[in-house]
Amino acid sequence: MSLLKEPDYGTPARPGAATVEVTVDGVPVTVPPGTSVMRAAKEAGIDVPKLCATDSLEAFGSCRLCLVEIDGVKGTPASCTTPCTDGMVVRTQTERLAKLRRGVMELYISDHPLDCLTCSANGDCELQDMAGVTGLREVRYGSGVDAGANHMDLPTDTSNPYFQFEASKCIVCSRCVRACDEVQGTLALTIEGRGFDSKVSPGGTDFLSSECVSCGACVQACPTATLQEKSVVDLGMPTRTVITTCAYCGVGCSFKAELRGDELVRMVPYKDGGANEGHSCVKGRFAFGYATHPDRVLTPLMRESIADEWREATWDEAISFVARRLREIQAEHGPGAIGAITSSRCTNEEVYVVQKMVRAAFGNNNVDTCARVCHSPTGYGLKQTFGTSAGTQDFKSVADADVIMIIGANPTDGHPVFASRMKRRLREGARLIVIDPRRIDMVRSPHIRADHHLALAPGTNVAIINAMAHVVVTEGLVDEEFVAERCEGFEEWAEFIARPENSPEAVEAETGVPAADVRAAARLYATGGNAAIYYGLGVTEHSQGSTMVMGLANLAMATGNIGRSGVGVNPLRGQNNVQGSCDMGSFPHELPGYRHVGDESVRDIYNELWGVSILDEPGLRIPNMFDAALDGTFRALYVQGEDIAQSDPNTQHVHAALAAMDLVVVQDLFLNETSKFAHVLLPGTSFLEKDGTFTNAERRINRVRPVMAPRTGKHEWEIVCEVAQAMGYPMRYSHPSEIMDEIALTTPTFAGVSFAKLDEVGSVQWPCNEKAPLGTPIMHVDGFVRGKGKFIETPYVPTPERSTRKYPLILTTGRILTQYNVGAQTRRTANTVWHPEDVLELHPHDAEVRGISDGDVVRLSSRVGQTTLRAVISDRMPVGVCYTTFHHPVTGANVVTTEHSDWATNCPEYKVTAVQVELITSGRGAEAGLAAVPVAGE
């Protein structure tokens, strides 16, 4: 396999039908109106020389290499900035043009180091290519350091851990600056100076200290070795490509994994990736080093007791031990005494075989997934109202939104590639509503300012959304035609929502948001055109998470914002395969495709195929497993790729439950907090070794292709199958494609999915079946999955977690751009440069009354536990609210979170915890002694 070079058309494609006829070098071509001459030439199979142009950026017209001659037009216009007109006749190759281009190239080369043979970009440099294309053979103006004024002695900025900026090789084409502006939307780069003194600058400082978010867009856009990955400098240019999918957040970016031999050199965002279209973030682009980190466990580990030291074991020994102990525990304590937790970081195929193992080999429904603690309310709420447990739109849909409402999400940190799409649309004129206790970056950033920021009190989401719906109903803003044709239950819901207790004025004291602001935001959402809702864990991780999801669905239906591009209710999934792990039947009450275990017709499908009799009663949820373990009735747990001892709430309770079990099996890459309670560790595979599929937040099923063979010697799906077989249940596949074939055979929404289909078309969004052979980008277009959308009453019930005199502050949690989930992956990369520790953000008022200054070490305590963190003084939150992340186990933020959870799904209420903050040590330079204490707080 060779290195995949994607075609570059020079300028972006224009929408619309191809109606403009042009002739380029005698070749006729028809293009949409507004298409550049350069792009038309490329579509005719003709390459026009270029340096400042690339098809991910709008035309700039500065390099003067793309000059053409056009009949009837004076001079030699730049083909990148010249739009085609009907009947235009273009010539790209004449002696006049050749002479002009050689002259331009001479000027570039006269001020450029002539070190091509030793340059890290040798063979992958557009300047080098263009010198050849223009036929440059000599430089009349001299070159080198002694040839007069030049820029060849400029320093190299190596401050960024992943790429360097070699200023001496910069041709000031502005592609990096424009990529930062147009693609990423950070605007961290600029051109300083004028004329000969012009230079690219990261805001007058170095790259590490600048506003740069290390997304890699500038590196991707650079036509020379000026901006270059350090891995390429160290290892050399890659020679082959494997297309795969990122294993971080739910955006699901497609990447070209570029290798030199069997060594991964770099990850380059794939232009044909449906989710990212050639863009990336710092995690997906650069933070892949954990896959080869020395901490990786590559051999099975075993021990009789968690007090013992680990010892290495063979695969046969470990698998036999696991199977034997599981059978023994069932024999002693009953069939329901064992269960498993699937992982949202594993492939669909890997997750599918775990739930199959539980139902077929374990003989129960005791399977759950980490989605329980993040997006289970999404599944419940959207199933009740729309009929399916997934978001409604594809990511491209945001380009058609006129009003964007972000609630309980922080896209620039949690879903940065999608955030860039969103920012692009906002800069084009879309209006923005942000509902969040914290002032996230989307509230105000370069060229973006939210029309409304409703800084509500944590835990009052339902009150706010009911108040907005109250305005829609009482002010006559309902889309009556849509509701009449497409929905049911409206009259009852409208009577409920119009009650005075749901008015903005009535809930103002509870939410802390002025009624006038709520009314203005509601009117904008209802009347501003296409309105789209994007939400995250700040919606779901509450005691009323499911109620809130239904409230969002009610609001969208009432205003007719469902079923077309630019609208919808869109959950921003946290992990790479949260959607897929739910699709695969990982919940104790559902088989694959969200079909209840009580449905005999669905059970019959699997009973016949698997040769078993599936129980018709739901099994245990994760919290139930923990409670049952402490009661002595649940004795063994198989944990696939989740560090539940760090990620789940009320750490003291989780630790006690794990310690009470007779057998804990962890399948993961590293020893982690959960493995402290494990008896067997079965080493897992990184995404670079996986073969299968991930399903992202927009229901897009992407192929995950192995870049390298499993370093452990086994694929994860193989391990699970061998455990099942050792327990006496025959579960064999020769390839993961066979697992997907079984999924497609038994799951209607996946009926048209296969590895062959995905390899052919790139990706599809379920439902993918006979009616939609290429998938379904937009859901509920002509009707809801359940028939008619259902309005459901959503009474506001205050969370039982309230601030008290002893715990007067409310803690809420979230993520940061450079770290991911519990940090097992990102903490083993250079991303720790930006976020070496979790910190506690305190409002200046709350800090002052406690005598706390920026950088002090503080004790954070709740009624269930305490930890220590470093304080950062910030006015992003209202008075009385503090904020932290949960990426580092040394501080373990979940040691303070409580047992409260969503009424319908048991999703933990991570976002509301009553706490106290006390000064421990003054001074940023003080030794922190940071540590989580999983005992009752004082």
> What string of DSSP letters covers 825-891?
TGGGSGGGGT-SS-EEEE-HHHHHHTT--TT-EEEEE-SS-EEEEEEEE-SSS-TTEEEEE---TTT
pLDDT for 821 beyond 90: no
Give the residue among 558, 447, 355, 493 at the shortest CA–CA distance from 792: 493
Q: What is the pLDDT of residue 935?
A: 42
- What mean pLDDT value characterizes the chain? 93
| CATH code 3.40.228.10 region(s) in the chain | 375-571
Q: Which of the four pLDDT bands, split at 50, 70 and 90, describes residue 514?
A: very high
**Contact (CB, 8 A) for 479 and 527:** no
Distance of alpha carbon 86 from alpha carbon 904, whole angstroms:
61
Residues 347-353, mean pLDDT to the nearest whole number: 97
732 has pLDDT over 70: yes
Confidence of residue 932 (pLDDT cuts 50, 70, 90): low
The predicted model gives 688-692 an average pLDDT of 96
In the predicted model, is pLDDT for residue 936 greater than 70? no
SS3 annotation, 557-580:
HHCCCCCCCCCCEEECCCCCCHHH
pLDDT band at 249 (very low <50, low <70, confident <90, very high): very high
pLDDT at 138 over 70: yes
Query: Which residue, 600, 267, 539, is CA-closest to 380?
Result: 539
Rounded to 10 deg, the angle between the 736-746 and 348-356 helix axes is: 70
> Which of 79-83, 369-373, 553-557 is the least confident region?
369-373
Mean pLDDT of 694-707: 96
Spatial separation of the C-alpha atoms in residues 66 and 104, rounded to whole Å: 10
Helix, strand or coil, per DSSP, at residue 491: helix
- The answer to whether the pTM exceeds 0.75 is yes
Q: Which residue intervals of the chain bear CATH 2.40.40.20?
A: 809-919
Please give the pLDDT value at position 893.
76
Residue 277: Cβ within 10 Å count:
18
Exposure string (b/e) for 847-865, b if CB count within 10 Å is 16 or more?
A: beebebeebbbbbbbbbbb
Q: Which of 220, 221, 271, 223 is nearest to 243 (CA)?
A: 271
**Under 8 Å between Cβ of 321 and 680:** yes
Half-sphere exposure of 347 (CA within 13 A, CB side): 30
Q: Which helix (H) or strand (E) holds 913?
A: strand 913-921
Nearest residue to 548 via CA among 380, 310, 690, 668: 380
Question: Based on the number of CB atoms within 10 Å of its own CB, is 293 exposed (0-12), middle (13-18) or buried (19 or more)?
Answer: middle
The structure tokens listed for 384 are 């009740």
Residue 678: both structure tokens together: 């494990």
According to DSSP, the residues that pair with 89 across neighbouring strands are: 23
C-alpha to C-alpha distance for 465 and 447, rounded to whole angstroms: 28
Burial 488-519 (b: 16+ CB within 10 A, else e): ebbeebbebbeeeebbbebbbebbbbebebbb
Tokens, residue 695: 């399903």
Decide: 706 and 735 in contact? Cβ < 8 Å.
Answer: no
What is residue 933's predicted lDDT score, i.e. its pLDDT?
Answer: 52
A 10 A CB-CB count for 91 gives 16
Residue 372 DSSP class: G
Here the tokens at position 848 are: 């002052």
| Strand duo 431-435 + 403-407: pairing | parallel
Q: Do you know the residue count of the chain? A: 938
Distance CA 448, CA 425 (A): 10
CA distance 794 to 321: 49
Q: Given the DSSP bridges, would you call strands 199-201 and 88-91 parallel, antiparallel or unpaired?
A: unpaired
Predicted confidence band of residue 104 (pLDDT cuts 50, 70, 90)? very high
Would the pLDDT of 374 be above 80? no
Q: What tokens were used for 401?
A: 């939104």
Confidence grade of residue 924 (pLDDT, cut at 50, 70, 90): low
In the three-class reduction of DSSP (H, G, I as helix; E, B as strand; rest coil), residue 670 is classed as coil
How would you write 83-144 as a 3-class SS string? ECCCCEEEECCCHHHHHHHHHHHHHHHHCCCCCCCCCCCCCCCHHHHHHHHCCCCCCCCCCC
Q: Quick: pLDDT tens for 554-605.
A: 999 999 999 999 999 999 988 889 999 999 999 999 999 999 999 999 999 9
Is the pLDDT confidence value at 934 over 70? no
Model pLDDT, residue 145:
52
Quickly state the pLDDT bin for 402 (edges 50, 70, 90): very high
How would DSSP label each residue in 236-305? ----EEEEEE-SSSTT--EEEEEEETTEEEEEEE-TT-TTTTT---HHHHH--GGGG-TT---S-EE-SS
CB neighbours (10 Å) of residue 462?
26
Instruction: Quickly name the fold that domain 20-93 has.
Output: Ubiquitin-like (UB roll) (3.10.20)
CATH topology of domain 375-571: Dimethylsulfoxide Reductase; domain 2 (3.40.228)
Q: Which residues contact 661 (CB under 8 A, 6 or more apart)?
A: 629, 634, 635, 636, 637, 677
916: phi then psi, degrees, rounded to nearest 5 = -125, 150
DSSP character for 78? B
Q: Which residues of the chain are in CATH 3.40.50.740 domains?
A: 301-370+577-765
**Edge-to-edge strand list for the sheet holding 680-683:** 311-312, 301-302, 680-683, 663-668, 636-640, 338-342, 367-369
Nearest to 347 by CA among 677, 740, 19, 732: 740
Start-to-end CA distance of the chain, whole Å, equals 62
Q: Where in the chain is the domain with CATH 3.10.20.740?
A: 20-93
DSSP per-residue letters across 384-415:
HHTSSSS-S--GGGGGG-SEEEEES--HHHHS
The CA distance from 813 to 799, in Å, is 16
Exposed, middle or buried: residue 298 (CB in 10 Å: 0-12, 13-18, 19+)?
A: exposed
Region of poorest pLDDT, from 117-131, 810-824, 898-912 = 898-912
Closest CA to 779 of 560, 556, 562: 562
pLDDT level of residue 644 (50, 70, 90 thresholds): confident
> pLDDT band for position 931 (50/70/90)?
low
The residues facing 640 across adjacent strands are 667
Mean pLDDT of 507-528: 97
Query: What are the φ/ψ torsions at residue 538 (nearest 5 degrees)?
Result: -70, -10
Both structure tokens of 187: 């605007």
What's the burial of 676, exposed, middle or buried (CB within 10 Å: 0-12/13-18/19+)?
middle
SS3 label, residue 477: coil
312 in helix, strand or coil?
A: strand
Q: Could you tell me the two tokens for 216?
A: 């890699």
Residues of the chain above pLDDT 70, percent? 97
Token pair belonging to 898: 């409580």
Alpha carbon distance 787, 783 (integer Å) = 6
Q: Strand, helix or coil at 166?
A: strand
Cα separation of 93 and 683, whole Å?
Answer: 59
Give the residue-averaged pLDDT of 349-372. 95
pLDDT of res. 144:
52
Q: Which architecture characterizes domain 301-370+577-765 according to CATH?
A: 3-Layer(aba) Sandwich (3.40)
**pLDDT of 938:** 33
Query: For residue 853, what are the CA distances in angstroms to 13, 627, 638, 687, 839?
Result: 52, 41, 45, 42, 13
CATH code reported for the domain at 809-919? 2.40.40.20
Bond preceding residue 767 cis, omega within 30 of 0: yes
Q: Taking Cα atoms as reference points, which of 468, 463, 497 lies closest to residue 556?
A: 468
Four-point Cα dihedral 697, 698, 699, 705, nearest 10? -70
Residue appearing with tokens 């010249």 = 82
